[in-house]
Structure 1
Amino acid sequence: MDPYSPTSTYRLQLGPGLTLDRAAELVDYLDRLGAGAAYLSPMLTAAPGSEHGYDVVDPASVSAPLGGDRARCELVERLRERGMGVVADIVPNHMSVAAPAANPWWWDVLRSGKGSAYARCFDVDWTAGPLELPVLADDGDGGAAALDRLGVADDCLTYEDHRFPLAPGTYSPGDDPAEVHERQHYRLVSWRRGRERLSYRRFFDVTGLAAVRVEDPDVFTASHAEILRWAERGELDGLRVDHPDGLSDPGGYLRRLRDAFGGWIVAEKILEPGEALPASWPVDGTTGYDALREVCGLFVDPRGEGPLTELARSVGAPTDSAAVRAESRRLAARELLAPEVGRIAALVGSADAHAHAHAHADAGSGPERVRDAVAELLASFEAYRSYLPEARPVWDRAVAAARGARPDLAAVLDDVDARVCADPAGELAVRIQQTSGMVVAKGDEDTAFYRATRFVALNEVGGDPARFGVSPAEFHACSARREACRPRTMTALSTHDTKRSEDVRARLAVLSEVPRDFAAAVHRWRAARGLGEGGLDLLAWQTLVGAWPISAARLRDYLLKAAREQKERTAWVDGDPGFEEEVAAWPERVLSDEDVRADVAAFVGRIRAAGWSNALGQKLLQLAGPGVPDLYQGSELWDLSLVDPDNRRPVDFTCRQTHLERLEGGRLPEVDAGGEAKLHVVRTALHVRRERDLRGYLPLEPAGPAADHAVAFARGPRNDVVAVATRLPLGLAAEGGWRGTALPLPGGSGTWRDALTGRVLLPQRTDGFCAADLQSLLNRYPVALLMRD
């Protein structure tokens, strides 16, 4: 019997607007849509007011605001009645400590220090003294004035609206709060301290999220007991594991998880182009960013690279994305993640390290040089993380790259290399591996992707702004490899973490076909209403075109986030209020300028239909291709969302249910602004996945003058399901259409029917092979899903 994997998943982003009770009401709709499983964001108790659930405070209970365990059980029961699966998102790497009283584990650690039964649960350096909590206001005095506002109430140390536990016997009525503070196992320090050094490991640079030591078997058991209870009761079929690269030993954790859970497991592992999932990981695959890059890149015209590069250069936006990524990673290592780098440098600079590196004493290995060497090494990885010892080549190339960039630090780097390779499971090796993924993520995704804005359709998690598109040959090779190696991996086009939705990227891809027209338009718009910073300005115009129509408020919130993520003119910390005021005012200035607004609307009008074509094409290829496709909530209709929190806006499911009823009545929708055509493609493809065996993958090669504009493949043991999509639609139209281009179909008996239109094909005969004329096949929709009866 094959291991379980859903035919598809539908991502529900639980929160205040979508509780477990509300999710249960949607089961009928999801079933009729064709989804194989409900894929649920974290359900465990999260921090008060959480909008997303990734800030878990109690892994032993289901979130009461979501409905609690009663609502979870009722949702599971309703899914089971429809034969659907349940997939849960879990967060093993960290817990929220922003509100200590909400987290019973953290509260006990603050109360009892390293003597707490929960002290082993968190990655705390107890040798550094009392646990530092960076919460105090700081007006340049290091938080000294804030200490005067400490108080004691209800057996708690108080600071403004913060509450912290008191260790037993440390307070008597009338005691000075400042003296009571000095008796605790923790110290309240300036919020700025979190940028310099901390005694606990964080989730990236978020001081309110503390890392959990799930490598400890007892901590694993305690933090997974509730989830595994669901599994033991038959109420859980799959797990999505958040951020495994942050763990000390991702492979070891996943092996322990596999021993405890026999269902479907996918890991949120971001693979760089060409990188493979570690072979030792006993998981079904990733959460699908690798497939996203391949599918979406297929609709980018590589001939647009030169003109779009020139446009970026002309407005002052950077064009060397590799240099931007390197600079951004160094920034992440040296500033955003300085405490983590400092902790690694302290290990390198320990007494035994100095003894080991005595031969290099002449080259110097002072504390600053060690920190510089560690930062350079962390910024030099070609992938998010190395997995020693099995991924030794990744490590070796990172060391070589760091030495090449900083030959003056070669002695320190050589010492680090020798120590890590001698003990790949040691603390130094583990902390470097944990932190490299943080540096890459913060440097690339949260900095460089907002700076290198030449063509932001490429600036996606798991993508590379320097790789301008994906050829059909590369797409087929990647798809065939996925089917052969990880056929049950998840695939995705939109997620809660994508920088922009699949439909925004689909429209932006059209710009690669008309780069000179877009460049001319940008220069017109900039002359009237440009932003002061070139890279942000170019990002703003692409965002306006990609998400049009968009409100000034949504665009303002997005651009403020983008400006802060750039970390150039402003930032999340110590920002520039004047520049932020300029950015915040820009959307209203643009949208109130009737000439600019009309020009933007007209430009979007010229590319909108091509964007719809791309959106339908990439969606069909994902849904019919190898892997388990995930559908992000609401994206079955056109969804022009931007990065979170914009992509967590409420979904109008009533509207979608109305459209679904029309399709169930036999309606064949037009490809128009209503988006029902996308719902039609989604519904059809998901039901085909339920009904047909889609094992196997066979690339199909169109023949004729427009062959480069079609991508097709066959699925199933008999190759009796064929997906066909149009690519580069504006170029196709400019070249005169299909002009006799045909698609040879797999041999065998039976009649071919397009599941989207219901039409039976009257195939041509070419040299004894059955072929479909693409002009006839794609005259109603730019995609086709053929089934052999």
Structure 2
Amino acid sequence: MSAHTISANGPQPPTSTYRLQLRPGFGLAEAADLLDHLHRLGVGAVYLSPILTATPGSDHGYDVADPTRVSEALGGERAHADLAARAHALGMGVVVDIVPNHMSVARPDANPWWWDVLEHGRDSVYARCFDVDFDSGPVLVPVLGDDGDDGRAALGELTLADGHLVYFDKRFPLAPGTFTPGDSAAQVHERQHYRLVSWRRGDSQLNYRRFFDVDHLAAVRVEEPGVFDAAHAEILRWAEEGRADGLRVDHVDGLSDPGGYLRRLAERFPGWIVVEKILAPGETLPASWPVAGTTGYDALRTVCGVFVDPDAEPVLTALAREHGVPTDIAAVDHQARSHAANELLRAEVRRIAALLPASEHTEEAVAELLASFDVYRSYLPEAEPAWARAVRTAAERRPDLEATLKTLDRTVREDPHGELARRVQQTSGMVVAMGTENTAFYRNTRYTALNEVGGDPAEFGVGVSAFHEANLHREAAEPHTMTALSTHDTKRSEDVRARLAVLSEIPGDFADAVRRWSARVPLPEPSLDLLGWQTLLGAWPISDERLVEYLLKAAREARLGTSWTAQDPDFEDRIRAWPGQLRADADLYAEIRAVAESLDRPGWSNSLGQKAVQLLGPGVPDVYQGTELWDLSLVDPDNRRPVDHGRRAELLDRIERGWRPPVDASGAAKLHLVRTCLRARAELRPSGYLPLAAEGAGAEHALAFARTARGSREPALAVVATRLPVTLADAGGWGETVLPLPPGEWTDRLTGRTLAPERMDGLVTAHLAELLDRYPVAVLVRR
């Protein structure tokens, strides 16, 4: 049993969570008003996006500017206390997302810590809070406009007002004694502890550590006990006052010492803790971390993958190659990671290289190592094999750098807690995320259902046995880890992926359609074109505005025809024109509509199946806001749109009165399933895990397992889901396929139908053609 498994006497996890994205206009008071609805749904805890004071205008809260106060824009301390009291009165918990890795410095006047550092430099009482290389000179602040002159003209736009330096809407402090009447803004600027420089210099010359390549998010040194105390005083007070029962720790890999941080946090915070940690296939959390587990991307990979037909791989690979889309997953990945290390994170690479003996190829060796990890980061000395593999891979790719890599390896191994080891490990996770998730996933578009956070596009689907093995491991090692299907960071929602899974059952038809469609109305780059057709079908129906915004973001992330920093107007105008061109071709658009609508029913089946096995499988399931109905959202900010909770409440009222909705476009069937599963979970507190195997011609299409209830040793709950529904229908349906169940009388909570023993030994034989005639899933509870 791993050390991070919660003991029987340790923090009690919620039975489930419901994630809410707070923003101005939907703050803590509005979340509190939703609690009764969530309670009726069966939710165990409300799970809030960050609530500390963020930079003015923030619509997500991850850009914390003041960690000592609850955001007034979200309602402030009183609203938070009221929400917690109302949740606890309903028997629900409160889980809060925290951001220990970085703070926003976009508006220096909104961040008192950063303001003081700019004003006083290394003498600031907050200087140790940020990872700044003060020895390199003034703090570089990359905010100036740059028309190719390195920002020199922009310096002329600096002004002095009210005792501050002002650049358009940004104000900066003046160090004491650095201004006398008559001084120009340029003269005063030269006397400060900081220098305003071109925005283009952030990637290569920045002298403070940041979050990824985001210059306005400065990293915080929470490994320092005093900094930890200051940054967490408010959070720990929530626990003391009963206002937080659990924490979700954002971007744990960005911390200098994740294990040390989590041990300090667990010592002070008595509740349930999960970490945003993306595990590679087969990877596990370090055993020394005293947390319940991750935020669920590892579960997402297996749950969604088991609904994909692996037989589609050769057909979709052939289509991609014919289309001009690269299919060597590893090569595309390494190329994207190398770009991240050598270009986007050049400043971080230079800072690491400066810790090694000077050499002509030191920066190259550092960048190659950072691009060679098969996990997001290693944790030395505990997870040494991951480090060793990365060094070996880098040396194999670049034999000419072997000597420098050996020096780097030796130096790190001699002091695995030293600055060099820490910085390499911190940065490797940034390289993987920026290279793989934010670039390669938009270039390798062979089959985008696999291109998900924590996913592996090279692993085409997950077999039933592998799915059960993953659940068995989760129940044994991390029974209280979070599981998820949609999050605020997923590339596409669970229901979009469910529709894309249908394409894996009809790869030939899809490939032929793409050939016809692309010949008539192509997008301007092959990878984007193939992504565009999958997105159109997966998110159908989708507005032109949403589709264009998504494709623009995808194209800029891929950096193949345009990018965030070098936008190509002609290329992007062709993207903007694409939806209109599709509509203008009436015959083409009618064919697209027909294909898209043919995905509806099997897509709904996949959606219900993956939701059932997530909600009742091992772990603590999270429901992302709004996904109790069909939700066809794409990557942020699309997945942070307002949710119509009123519509969901209306449907819930009808279901509570006994309505068993049909599986149709309303999505009410999914709401019925979510309510049924969450309430069964709260009632039975399931544990254990027993795979169930169907018998008969359709056996491979049944995904089923049983679990025990709290205080019982006998199976009390069974879940049955349909996988690969198109090929099942093509084969004639379930026919005589049956599912043997443990002895007893079982009732399907979705339909109310009871299954009685048919055999002398008490075993129950469920005929799947009858059991799944109304819904493609069943939630069976034994009397």
TM (norm. structure 2) is: 0.98
Shift in alpha-carbon separation, 1:766–1:512, aligned structure 2, 3 A = farther
Matched residues in 1 for 2:70 and 2:244: separation?
Answer: 14
Which runs of structure 1 show a deviation greater than 4 angstroms over 4 or more consecutive aligned residues? none
Aligned runs of 1:562-581 on 2, under 5 Å? 562-581=554-573
Deviation at 1:532, TM superposition (A): 2.0
1:435 aligns with 2:443: no
CA deviation digits over 1:300-328, x for unaligned, max 9?
00011111111111111111111111111
Matched residues in 1 for 2:158 and 2:34: separation?
Answer: 49
Matched residues in 1 for 2:148 and 2:435: separation?
Answer: 28
Q: Is the partner of 2:74 in helix, strand or coil?
A: coil
* Percent of matched pairs sharing the same residue: 64
1:485 aligns with 2:493: no
Query: Which residue in 2 is equivalent to 1:240?
Result: 248
Whether the 8 Å contact between 1:17 and 1:650 is mirrored in structure 2 is no
Matched residues in 2 for 1:575 and 1:608: separation?
Answer: 36
CA deviation digits over 1:720-755, x for unaligned, max 9?
1000000000010111111211111123xx311001
Residue type of the alignment partner of 1:406: R
1:4 aligns with 2:12: yes
Query: Which residue in 1 is equivalent to 2:647?
Result: 655
Residue type of the alignment partner of 2:457: P
Deviation at 1:770, TM superposition (A): 2.6
Aligned length: 771
Matched residues in 2 for 1:522 and 1:560: separation?
Answer: 20
Whether the 8 Å contact between 1:668 and 1:757 is mirrored in structure 2 is yes
Query: Which residue in 2 is equivalent to 1:582?
Result: 574
Deviation at 1:539, TM superposition (A): 0.2
Aligned runs of 1:292-311 on 2, under 5 Å? 292-311=300-319
1:746 aligns with 2:742: yes
Deviation at 1:767, TM superposition (A): 8.1
Query: Which residue in 1 is equivalent to 2:169?
Result: 161
- 49-58 or 516-525: bigger deviation: 516-525
Residue type of the alignment partner of 1:311: L
CA deviation digits over 1:512-568, x for unaligned, max 9?
000010011111211221112111000000000000000000000000000000011
1:52 aligns with 2:98: no
Shift in alpha-carbon separation, 1:542–1:511, aligned structure 2, 3 A = same
Q: Is the partner of 1:630 in helix, strand or coil?
A: strand
What are structure 2's unaligned runs of at least 5 residues? 1-7
Aligned runs of 1:260-299 on 2, under 5 Å? 260-299=268-307
Query: Which residue in 2 is equivalent to 1:731?
Result: 727
Query: Which residue in 2 is equivalent to 1:514?
Result: 506
Whether the 8 Å contact between 1:31 and 1:82 is mirrored in structure 2 is yes
* 1:627 alignment partner, one of 619, 628, 640: 619
Aligned runs of 1:589-738 on 2, under 5 Å? 589-716=581-708, 717-738=713-734
Matched residues in 1 for 2:775 and 2:175: separation?
Answer: 69
Residue type of the alignment partner of 1:259: E
Whether the 8 Å contact between 1:763 and 1:773 is mirrored in structure 2 is no
* 1:64 alignment partner, one of 53, 59, 72: 72
CA deviation digits over 1:671-730, x for unaligned, max 9?
000000000000000000110030111111111111100010011132110000000000
CA deviation digits over 1:364-392, x for unaligned, max 9?
x31xx111111100000000000000111
Residue type of the alignment partner of 1:402: A
Query: Which residue in 2 is equivalent to 1:358?
Result: none
Matched residues in 2 for 1:572 and 1:377: separation?
Answer: 26
Whether the 8 Å contact between 1:195 and 1:338 is mirrored in structure 2 is yes
Whether the 8 Å contact between 1:685 and 1:785 is mirrored in structure 2 is yes
Matched residues in 1 for 2:481 and 2:140: separation?
Answer: 41
Matched residues in 2 for 1:162 and 1:607: separation?
Answer: 50
* 2:220 alignment partner, one of 212, 233, 238: 212
Q: Is the partner of 1:786 in helix, strand or coil?
A: strand
Deviation at 1:234, TM superposition (A): 1.4
Whether the 8 Å contact between 1:764 and 1:772 is mirrored in structure 2 is no
Q: Is the partner of 2:140 in helix, strand or coil?
A: strand
What are structure 1's unaligned runs of at least 5 residues? 355-364
1:327 aligns with 2:300: no
CA deviation digits over 1:648-691, x for unaligned, max 9?
11100000000000100100110000000000000000000110
Query: Which residue in 1 is equivalent to 2:5?
Result: none
Deviation at 1:161, TM superposition (A): 2.0
Query: Which residue in 2 is equivalent to 1:362?
Result: none
Query: Which residue in 1 is equivalent to 2:389?
Result: 397
Matched residues in 1 for 2:265 and 2:717: separation?
Answer: 36
Residue type of the alignment partner of 2:346: A
Q: Is the partner of 2:67 in helix, strand or coil?
A: strand
* 1:418 alignment partner, one of 392, 407, 410: 410
1:458 aligns with 2:450: yes
Q: Is the partner of 1:149 in helix, strand or coil?
A: coil
- 699-708 or 417-426: bigger deviation: 699-708
* 1:775 alignment partner, one of 749, 760, 769: 769
Deviation at 1:144, TM superposition (A): 1.1
Residue type of the alignment partner of 1:761: L
CA deviation digits over 1:52-106, x for unaligned, max 9?
0000000010111111111111111111110100000000000000100000000
Matched residues in 1 for 2:75 and 2:66: separation?
Answer: 15
Q: Is the partner of 1:720 in helix, strand or coil?
A: strand
Matched residues in 1 for 2:666 and 2:80: separation?
Answer: 33
Residue type of the alignment partner of 1:639: D
TM (norm. structure 1) is: 0.97
Matched residues in 1 for 2:513 and 2:592: separation?
Answer: 8
Query: Which residue in 2 is equivalent to 1:360?
Result: none
Q: Is the partner of 1:347 in helix, strand or coil?
A: coil
Aligned runs of 1:160-239 on 2, under 5 Å? 160-239=168-247
Q: Is the partner of 1:65 in helix, strand or coil?
A: helix
Q: Is the partner of 1:753 in helix, strand or coil?
A: strand
Matched residues in 2 for 1:174 and 1:219: separation?
Answer: 40
Matched residues in 2 for 1:581 and 1:491: separation?
Answer: 40
CA deviation digits over 1:258-301, x for unaligned, max 9?
00011000000000111001101000000000000000000000
Query: Which residue in 2 is equivalent to 1:765?
Result: 759
Query: Which residue in 2 is equivalent to 1:529?
Result: 521
Residue type of the alignment partner of 1:729: P
Query: Which residue in 2 is equivalent to 1:249?
Result: 257
Query: Which residue in 1 is equivalent to 2:3?
Result: none
Whether the 8 Å contact between 2:755 and 2:764 is mirrored in structure 1 is no
Whether the 8 Å contact between 1:122 and 1:200 is mirrored in structure 2 is yes
Whether the 8 Å contact between 1:725 and 1:782 is mirrored in structure 2 is yes
Matched residues in 1 for 2:756 and 2:722: separation?
Answer: 20
Query: Which residue in 1 is equivalent to 2:30?
Result: 22
Matched residues in 1 for 2:595 and 2:25: separation?
Answer: 35
CA deviation digits over 1:434-457, x for unaligned, max 9?
000000000010000000000000
Residue type of the alignment partner of 2:200: R
Query: Which residue in 2 is equivalent to 1:361?
Result: none
* 1:141 alignment partner, one of 138, 142, 149: 149
Deviation at 1:345, TM superposition (A): 0.9
Matched residues in 2 for 1:463 and 1:629: separation?
Answer: 18
Matched residues in 2 for 1:441 and 1:647: separation?
Answer: 19
Deviation at 1:768, TM superposition (A): 6.9
Whether the 8 Å contact between 1:552 and 1:591 is mirrored in structure 2 is no
Matched residues in 2 for 1:393 and 1:605: separation?
Answer: 48
Residue type of the alignment partner of 1:725: A
Matched residues in 2 for 1:311 and 1:194: separation?
Answer: 39
Deviation at 1:177, TM superposition (A): 1.3
Whether the 8 Å contact between 1:460 and 1:498 is mirrored in structure 2 is yes
Query: Which residue in 2 is equivalent to 1:786?
Result: 780
Q: Is the partner of 1:626 in helix, strand or coil?
A: coil
